[in-house]
Amino acid sequence: MQHRFAGIYTPIVTPFDSHGDVDERAILANVDRYLASPLTGLVVLGSNGEAAQLEDDEADRVIAVVRERVPNDRPLLVGTGRESTRATIAACRRAAAIGADAVMARTPSFYKPQMTSENFIRHYTEVADASPVPLLLYNVTMYTGVNLLPDAVEQLSGHPNIAGLKDSGNDMLQIGDYLARSTPGFTVLAGAAPTLFTAAALGVHGA
């Protein structure tokens, strides 16, 4: 079974200059180094990319700068997670218009008591329905304080526009459950370096 977006992706940082503005020259210097390696593709505006600190216009400019340099044979994954479904959809549409090959949306997290599997399923289904490009779920519990459970992933994995999941946690039992319960062809990426080899042994499709 072919897994779309399988492979190794570098989550790039977003450098800033001494005035606190996005440093485009530094971004391109980093991108050139990454492109000199056999990496599958790049992730921009992930948790390493300071996404939570950027205004929408800054985020859009980062995508544009990187897309101009990254060739079309290297997938560009763009973080688009926001607290509301509407804002997440808007970010997905902007990223797609700029040239994202796929979008990666973290779990909403502010209203933690309401962050149930049922509500995650509703949120991600609406985002996937509206996104012009494939969606990857993004579970990064260390920052959000919420967890996307395997029962939700199992149901979401059947959506035709949800291509996979990146999990940046260290719970190998949960990653194993994702792999066992998701629809064939659903890509599971590991996002935690300390447990990458263990996750690879379990059968993840990349990182």
The tens-digit pLDDT sequence of the chain (207 residues) is: 567 899 999 999 999 999 999 999 999 999 999 999 999 999 999 999 999 999 999 999 999 999 999 999 999 999 999 999 999 999 999 999 999 999 999 999 999 999 999 999 999 999 999 999 999 999 999 999 999 999 999 999 999 999 999 999 889 999 999 999 999 999 999 988 888 889 889 999 999
* 81 close to 108: Cβ distance less than 8 angstroms: yes
Residue 127, token pair as written in the block: 């985002």
**Which fold does the domain 9-202 belong to in CATH?**
TIM Barrel (3.20.20)
CA distances from 109 to 19, 37, 84, 95, 167 (A): 30, 35, 10, 22, 15
Q: What are the structure tokens assigned to 154, written together? A: 């199992």
Residue 54: closest CA among 85, 94, 86:
94
Q: How many CB atoms are located within 10 Å of the residue 74 CB?
A: 17
For residue 47, what is the DSSP state? G
166 catalytically annotated: yes
Count of C-beta atoms within a 10 Å radius of residue 135: 26
Strand spans (E) along 107-160: 135-139
**Segments making up each domain of the chain, as ranges:** 9-202
Provide the 3-class DSSP secondary structure of residue 119: helix
- What tokens were used for 145? 């304080």
82, 166, 175, 207: which one is catalytic?
A: 166
Give kind and range of the element (H or E) at residue 27: helix 24-35
DSSP-assigned beta bridge partners for residue 182: none
